[in-house]
Amino acid sequence: MSINNSEEANQYYKLVNKLVDDYIDGHKIRPSKLSAYLKPGGQRFNKFLERNKLKDISGAERILRDVIEDREHMEKDGVITFESFNLLESAEWKVSNLRECIYKGIEKADLKMEKILADYFDINLGSIDILDSDKHKFSIEDWKNDDWQVVIYSEEDIDVIKNNLVEYLFDEVSKKEIELGDGIVITLNNLIDEEKFEEKLTDLLNTEKVNKIICQCLGEDWSFESHSRGHFIYVC
């Protein structure tokens, strides 16, 4: 099915705009970070199209790209209402602690992840129980009858977690103050260039460091197990 005229295109733009706004509101994602969560051409991007019955619409992918780009520019260029600005600056829309970085914006675990775990541990799907689909946590019994708790993330999930970490760490550093004496206090937020900070931190947060942070957030008994078929597996 294809979009045949400008009237149909306008209808689809209106629909996709609403769907994207609902996605932003539901996941509490800043518009300027949207492409990190819905990377054009990526698995989550394609899932969004499929979930909203747009995958078979020729031209829908281009419309979604346009809407994502538009939302990002609106915040970066300051084209948002006062009410929207206050909402984005509220605690609900911020990553409030380190552990939240591994959950915010992460969609529920799916059957593909269960199949990857079954193949990796050489077990049947019946040996896998979902403990928390929002947190991608499973319980498995391997062929030795040993019980494990497992968390699995896709590579795109790891990119989202990395983006959350950068956002959280920037907010934390920005809160710091320097006392210069004689009652003079400077907040680091006035001294740090957010874009350069994010670029530097993104370079520093390689896969090994992100895996260590994820294990720290999951708990002291958790460890990184393996990277298998585009997914990262952690066990306890």
* DSSP class per residue in 206-221: -HHHHHHHHHHHH-TT
Confidence of residue 73 (pLDDT cuts 50, 70, 90): confident
Contacts for 31 with CB less than 8 Å, ≥ 6 apart: 24, 71, 72, 74, 75, 80, 88
Residues 60, 135: one domain? Answer: no
Residue after which a domain boundary falls, among 49, 74, 91: 91
Residues 131, 74: one domain? Answer: no
Residues 64, 169: one domain? Answer: no
Tell me the pLDDT tens digit for each residue of 152-187. Answer: 999 999 999 998 999 888 888 877 777 777 777 777
If one compares 91 and 118, the residue with the highest pLDDT of the two is: 118
Residues 134, 233: one domain? Answer: yes
Residues 202, 116: one domain? Answer: yes
Confidence of residue 84 (pLDDT cuts 50, 70, 90): very low
**Strand ranges (DSSP E) for 32-142?**
128-132, 137-141
CA–CA dist 55, 157 (Å, integer): 21
Residue 16 domain boundaries? 1-91
Tell me the pLDDT tens digit for each residue of 18-27. Answer: 999 888 888 7
Q: How many residues does the chain have?
A: 236
Residues 176, 75: one domain? Answer: no
Number of domains in the chain: 2
Residues 107, 71: one domain? Answer: no
